Structure 1
Amino acid sequence: LLISSTASSRFCSATTYTCYPIPGNLSPEQGTKGHFRRLLWTQFQLPRIYKKLRTDLLFSPVPEAPLFTNCRYVVMVHDLIGLRFPQGFSPLTTYQRYYIPQVLAQAEHIICNSRATARDLTDFFKIPAAKITPILLAYDANQYYYLDTVDGGKDGENRENCPYFLYIGRPDPHKNLHRLIEAFAALPNCQDYQLWIAGATDKRYTPLLEAQAEELNISSQVKFLGYVPQHQLPTMIRNAIAFVFPSLWEGFGIPVLEAMACGTPVITANLSSLPEVAGDAAILINPYNPEEITAAMAAVATDAQMRSHLRQSGLARASEFSWQKTGQATVEILSHIVKGIGNRE
């Protein structure tokens, strides 16, 4: 987003916001090559665009910006997972350890997606709190919403016929799926339930999780679904007994919001940003303690009153988030920064 402010008189000015999409071959979907090409484009091509459009401020929704130029910019940081869990993120750790600090040092301001990420920025990079503004994210309310009746159908099974707990996300170690599987295996009457794990598989981690389920004699009940098309996820969420998200660390945790918006009880971790997202509308557990995860799953599975309470409180909590609020808060920060730049000149 390129921002220009022009004075239309002595007493007022006009601010122009120009969205400049990056070329498709630079997107994360292109893999490592896409990331590398984007970094080069950011350093060499973006400054030319910045100058050509007479830009006062660049807003980058990721922590990438031109270095060694006179470009003024605000960036957004989503998480520092690569620094918190470096053993599984070698390229990401290098990127966050050496490139991001330079970007942040030269930024006019930093936006992040939670107070937890703001604390990480201060802890890892010693950035003053005054330079950081947390702005909470949201979810797609047009796709994730509550229905009074269970959907059933080909996208998910009827809750009464096939009761299942659901996790959606990657299988990376910090997502804590090995403890989730351990907790599920200890569930009373475990044979009456299933655990559905939806999300792209990873040859480094998924086979280990499959082997764990086999060793615990629950391989027939733990379903590794792989990638699930986006349009199928809401039905899958609505039909679950509970959405279980025991991640050890998240920059924000949009899946928690999506599940609450669908009216599905949520069990999630009491660490990082997840309590900020869930508030008092979910069961918060210590993700390092499988027994707590088991107890929460058992309580939700057997207590209809608890499920109803979590459903209603989750719907109320999800309604507090919207992309309009996120966008408005972002524009206010950017306008303030542009005005400050103008006052300095």
Structure 2
Amino acid sequence: MKIAFDGKRFFNNSSGLGNYSRDLVRILATSFPENDYVLFNENQSEKGKDILNLPNVFFVETSKGTMSRQFKMGIDAQKTNAGIFHGLSGELPLKWTDQPIKKIVTIHDLIFMRYPQYYSFFDRMIHFWKFKRASVQADVIIAISEQTKRDIIKFLKVPEEKIRVVYQGCHHAFKENQSEEFLISVKEKYLLPERFILNVGTIEERKNLLNVVKAVNGTKIPLVVVGKKTKYFKKIEKYILKHQLKSQIIFLENVSMEELAAIFKLADIFVYSSFFEGFGIPVIEALFSETPVITSNVSCLPEAGGKDSVYINPHDVEDIKAKILFLWNNESERKRRAEKSLVFVQKFNDENIAQDLMSVYRQIL
């Protein structure tokens, strides 16, 4: 079997869709080495270089020119006699020849429909047009959670039988037992406190970091935040300065994946109070790291967190504070939840995801 992929996110995105693309190709190539996996893009990058070194993963440079991804990539994939083309980020090429090829698209979320206030009118229209067009073209749509499946049915008017739910995994660094020496070196490099709670993700309004900051105000509990800053950070910074929390809250950027995995393991608690997610990869990163999770009781987050995570109303600062204090002051409860959650999170391991994906590929053929 030869499977072609839209490689744009694989090569160009450092996190999010990039991590999804690289993990998907990696786990398929290692779990099912008998197949060929071909990535199409205008150019390569250092991202995913180790995956391209696998003997069954190939790069094909697509035809150059304006809109080549939309009008030439699909035809280029057909020329290689690929049986399947998989769009990894909600899009499919617009132009194809008559040569048979099955089309699959992964849709991660429809947040631009649920929370239009976070997007410009132009961006919403473009996103909707691309996703709707891809959902019509595709033989099968992969949704990364039951929540996303429900949204695809509701907003894109796709029949349920066309959708398969295949969960995301996470980078293998979170599943590895890093040495004590490495953990100590990361702790010293970033001047991390002896105990702290952790928040990871782009610092944007939807992720709701401000309510976590408000929740730790008055507790003296250190909060470490790892994520790219947006203009929303100004609102958080203003609150921090007003309430003299600068020494209590540590912001980190440009952390490597291995270092991030170490920070997860060093944390006492992971807090993720997002208003909405398509899946919530940081939640399973925490669970694989054996760090107990406090997360929102909305969207797909209970799917990712399982029954032994602690759930909060993301709008209720006092609820967030109470749950943080509950786990912070109860070591045995943290340990119990971490152990049980480690069993639960195995459903998101590489082997299960690879089997689910390959099942979709085989069914479509």
Q: Which residue number corresponds to residue 10 of structure 2? A: none
Question: Matches of residues 290-305 of structure 1 in structure 2 within 5 Å?
Answer: 290-305=317-332
Q: What residue identity is the alignment partner of 1:85? A: Y
1:271 corresponds to which of 298, 304, 328? 298
2:144 corresponds to which of 113, 132, 136? 113
* d(CA) in 1 for partners of 2:107, 2:309: 26
Q: Which residue number corresponds to residue 45 of structure 1? A: 72
Give the Å deviation of 1:45. Answer: 1.7
Give the Å deviation of 1:47. Answer: 2.8
* d(CA) in 2 for partners of 1:324, 1:39: 39
Counterpart check, 1:173 vs 2:208: no
1:267 alignment partner, SS class = strand
Q: What TM-score does the superposition give when structure 1 sets the normalisation length?
A: 0.82
1:200 corresponds to which of 221, 228, 248? 228
Counterpart check, 1:20 vs 2:39: yes
With over 3 angstroms needed to count, the CA separation of the structure-2 counterparts of 1:92 and 1:226, relative to structure 1, is farther
Cα RMSD, aligned residues only: 3.0
1:80 corresponds to which of 95, 110, 124? 110
Q: How many residues align?
A: 316
**Where do 5+ consecutive residues of structure 1 fail to align?**
5-14, 29-36, 339-345
Q: What residue identity is the alignment partner of 1:51? A: Q
Q: Which residue number corresponds to residue 185 of structure 2? A: 154
Please identify the structure whose Cα radius of gyration is greater. Answer: 1
- Contact 1:2–1:58 (CA<8 Å) still a contact in 2? no
* d(CA) in 1 for partners of 2:286, 2:265: 8
Q: Which residue number corresponds to residue 101 of structure 1? A: 132
* d(CA) in 2 for partners of 1:180, 1:215: 16
Give the Å deviation of 1:160. Answer: 11
Question: Matches of residues 205-244 of structure 1 in structure 2 within 5 Å?
Answer: 205-244=232-271
* d(CA) in 2 for partners of 1:267, 1:171: 18
With over 3 angstroms needed to count, the CA separation of the structure-2 counterparts of 1:226 and 1:207, relative to structure 1, is farther
1:58 alignment partner, SS class = strand
- Contact 1:2–1:18 (CA<8 Å) still a contact in 2? yes
- Contact 2:40–2:77 (CA<8 Å) still a contact in 1? no
Q: Which residue number corresponds to residue 284 of structure 1? A: 311
**Where do 5+ consecutive residues of structure 2 fail to align?**
5-33, 48-63
* Deviation digits for residues 23-72 of structure 1 (CA, Å, limit 9, x no counterpart): 337999xxxxxxxx999222222132133123443122222112253564
* Deviation digits for residues 299-322 of structure 1 (CA, Å, limit 9, x no counterpart): 011112211111211221222321
1:281 alignment partner, SS class = coil
Q: Which residue number corresponds to residue 124 of structure 1? A: 155
2:196 corresponds to which of 164, 177, 182? 164
- Contact 1:2–1:50 (CA<8 Å) still a contact in 2? no
Q: Percent identity?
A: 26
Q: What TM-score does the superposition give when structure 2 sets the normalisation length?
A: 0.78
Q: Which residue number corresponds to residue 33 of structure 1? A: none
Give the Å deviation of 1:146. Answer: 5.7
Give the Å deviation of 1:108. Answer: 0.9
Give the Å deviation of 1:85. Answer: 2.1
With over 3 angstroms needed to count, the CA separation of the structure-2 counterparts of 1:271 and 1:145, relative to structure 1, is farther
Give the Å deviation of 1:162. Answer: 3.0
Q: Which residue number corresponds to residue 32 of structure 1? A: none
Of stretches 173-182 and 158-167 in structure 1, the one that deviates more from structure 2 is 158-167
Give the Å deviation of 1:84. Answer: 2.0
* d(CA) in 1 for partners of 2:280, 2:314: 15
